[in-house]
Amino acid sequence: MPIGDINIATDHLFAPTLCQTSMPEGSLASLNFLRQWLHGLALVLLSILRCVSFSIRSGCHDLITISIATMKSVITISLLALVQLSVVEAVATFLPPGFNGWWWQSSLIVKDRLYIDGGEIYSLTKGGFYGATYVIDLTTSWTTSTLAGTGYTRDKSFAAARRPQLFYDESHDIVYSQAGQVYGSLLRPTELFSYAAPQVWGFKPDDKADGTVTWSEVYSESLTPSYPYVSSVENALWTSTDKKHYSLGGSIGFLSNSSDTGSRGELSMNQFLTYDYETQTFENKTHPAHYIQGEAQYVPTYGEEGVLVFFAGKTPVDRNVADNNIGDTGIILVYDIHNDKFYNQSATNAPAGRYNLCSVGASNAGNNSYEIFIYGGTTGSNTTNNAVEMSKVFILSLPSFHWIEAPEPADTWRTTHTCKTIGPASIGKYNKRQMISIGGVQSPSPNGVSAIKTQDAWTSGMKILDLTTLTWGDEYDADAKAYERPDVVNSYYNDNTGYPKVWGDPALEAIFKTDRSLKVTAAASPTTTSSNADPTSTGAGGSGASDGGTTSSEKKSVNTGAIAGGVVGGVAGLALVGLAAFFWRRRTAKADQQYSSAANNPQQVTQGPVEMPVTYKDEPKAELPVVEHYRSELP
């Protein structure tokens, strides 16, 4: 049979079935895979038949060689198809079938658990919906493809939100959620220039042994008449200490058109909000500048009560959040908690400014220095330089106030993601060496394709960075050692004084200059587990080396029947692999279909968020307090 006839035959075999428009997507993919596999198998069988017919001729050996090469290609394609199918299916258990991305989440570490809350989750087959509260155990090791967790939906009166502020009051054992940009119409203002009333919700993480999350309203104007906030802030720079939660700047939304309840204006805020855990009271102070979409870190090792460090994001010159004035990462805002004062300090070797990035902090056992790691973000520009810069990891080391670029960038970039240092409670809160990046999206889209239709390059949308070795991977190691300074940071302190040449204020020098040595002589230790070898790397068992010592005459002397027999045996094995993959894919597709039904998936919503551009307006006369309301891009 000519090869062209094989193409027609295999296409015709499945043509009637593939035209069925009602077929589930998973079944369609299975049949496409099976058709391609049978096509390749037919080519191999044709080669064998031709070889048998030409067995008395000298050209048989060459044909056998070609058939072997063809069989290898088919096997490779089949195995790659199996791997791809596994990747599609193998995501965190709490993510939906067909998962392709999630973003705008917040995360929090409490003892031995990682909490992920809010944001949006998308599936290529099921659409989009609002994120719940997901709980992940940190006492056992896992990978981003084997991760198991539990999702807990919010109370119906507790609106889902983008990037809610999560913080933990250990003295009262309460996890709080406040602010963020609220989805839907639950808290939507109804009068011109009005704001929605803010709410603070909470749950007790140790209330139940299994970690069940049950949110309840803790603070609101209706519950607490003395509650001072009249609006909720979004896009703020926030962080927490063991005693207080802090929120700097941010913006608020308001109804900008009385005839359109979905209209939305937005103002940046010059405020500094705090919540005291001991007294359980809120306070709102005025700050002279505007900060939005940046990052904040608590640094416990300097000052009498530690310091807060604010950086990156946008710094609008007035209240107009549409002002694309990206903050200078070479200017670090430092807040001394004990003296209740802000200072500006210049930082050297600063990376490009960015907003909607993520950051974490860590210190070694000797507190020789404190490192703040940043990854991702965006400049708002759809350029190659944006993609390259945002895939890098940069380290701000204190007290040097010097930025250091990590040697190994991530294999992709993202923004609107969240990061946390993770590890069991046995590792100190500020000594964990593994950073997990969760969710995120490439914005602006590099190819113009909507994020809701794009498959995240990372399994479960997650990746883990070892902060000591500065290498990315997919494994969380519950037995990993504590953080030690990376070699690039040690090298910097070995070659420099370790302090800024010019201090922004004499008070900063007094805060950051200590009697602790800045030099660390011990080499950074590896994790307790070895890294996985790349199965596609050279020398991993490739077939090319097996022929190294075989001459041309020796090859020709190989028995043709033995080769043909080997080919037939290989084809038979390939047939079993292909059929197993086909039926396995059909079975999992049915399971996906069953999971996605409303009866079996109560968290699934039929009308999910839809990404649309956001229009910002500045209304200077709306000088009102602070409220959270949601953008109209989501229902």
Q: In this predicted structure, what is the pLDDT of residue 485?
A: 96
Beta-bridge mates of residue 65: none
Q: What is the pLDDT of residues 244-280, one digit of tens each?
A: 999 999 988 777 776 776 677 788 888 999 999 999 9
Tell me if 77 sits within 8 A of 95, measured CB to CB: no
Structural domain tally of the chain? 2
pLDDT score of 324 more than 70: yes
Which range is least confidently modeled, 87-96, 312-321, 364-373, 438-447?
87-96
* 465 and 573 co-located in one domain: no
Q: Is the peptide bond before 399 cis (omega within 30 degrees of 0)?
A: yes
pLDDT score of 157 more than 90: no
CA dihedral 230, 231, 233, 238 (to 10 degrees): 20
Taking the C-alpha atoms of residue 412 and residue 415, their distance in angstroms, rounded to an integer, is 11
| CA neighbor of 629 nearest in space, from 131, 219, 250 | 250
Tell me if 293 sits within 8 A of 355, measured CB to CB: yes
* 344 assigned to some structural domain: yes
Determine the average pLDDT of the residues in 396-423.
Answer: 96
pLDDT band at 7 (very low <50, low <70, confident <90, very high): very low
* 627 assigned to some structural domain: no
* 367 and 219 co-located in one domain: yes
- CA 583 to chain centroid, in Å, comes to 32
pLDDT band at 583 (very low <50, low <70, confident <90, very high): low
* 527 assigned to some structural domain: no
* Torsions phi, psi for 294 (to 5 deg): -110, -160
Structure tokens, 528? 């307790």
* 352 and 244 co-located in one domain: yes
Share of the chain above pLDDT 90, in %: 47
* 134 and 204 co-located in one domain: yes
* 152 and 288 co-located in one domain: yes
* 50 and 129 co-located in one domain: no
Which range is least confidently modeled, 42-51, 66-75, 102-111, 550-559?
550-559
Q: In this predicted structure, what is the pLDDT of residue 469?
A: 97
H/E stretch holding 152 reads strand 150-152
Helix, strand, coil content of the chain in percent (nearest 5): 25, 25, 50
pLDDT score of 461 more than 80: yes
* 66 assigned to some structural domain: yes
* 549 assigned to some structural domain: no
Q: In this predicted structure, what is the pLDDT of residue 204?
A: 94
* 482 and 582 co-located in one domain: no
* 467 and 566 co-located in one domain: no
Which range is least confidently modeled, 145-149, 244-248, 599-603?
599-603
Q: In this predicted structure, what is the pLDDT of residue 219?
A: 85
Q: Where are the alpha helices (DSSP H) in 90-189?
A: none
* 62 assigned to some structural domain: yes
Q: In this predicted structure, what is the pLDDT of residue 601?
A: 35
Taking the C-alpha atoms of residue 100 and residue 122, their distance in angstroms, rounded to an integer, is 6
Domain of residue 416, CATH code: 2.120.10.80
* 294 and 235 co-located in one domain: yes
pLDDT score of 225 more than 80: no
pLDDT score of 2 more than 80: no
Residue 13 lies in domain: 3-89+562-595
Beta-bridge mates of residue 247: 238, 273
* 547 assigned to some structural domain: no
* 553 assigned to some structural domain: no
Q: In one letter, which amino acid is 59? A: G
Sheet holding 341-346, edge to edge: 295-299, 307-311, 331-336, 341-346
* 350 and 232 co-located in one domain: yes
* 64 and 103 co-located in one domain: no
pLDDT band at 43 (very low <50, low <70, confident <90, very high): low
pLDDT score of 600 more than 50: no
Q: In this predicted structure, what is the pLDDT of residue 569?
A: 56
* 407 and 506 co-located in one domain: yes
Q: Which of 494, 512, 530 is the last residue of a domain?
A: 512
Buried/exposed code over 317-333 (b: 16+ C-beta within 10 A; e: otherwise): eebbbebeebbebbbbb
Determine the average pLDDT of the residues in 111-138.
Answer: 92
Geometric angle at alpha carbon 500, from 494 and 501, rounded to 5°:
105
pLDDT band at 98 (very low <50, low <70, confident <90, very high): very high
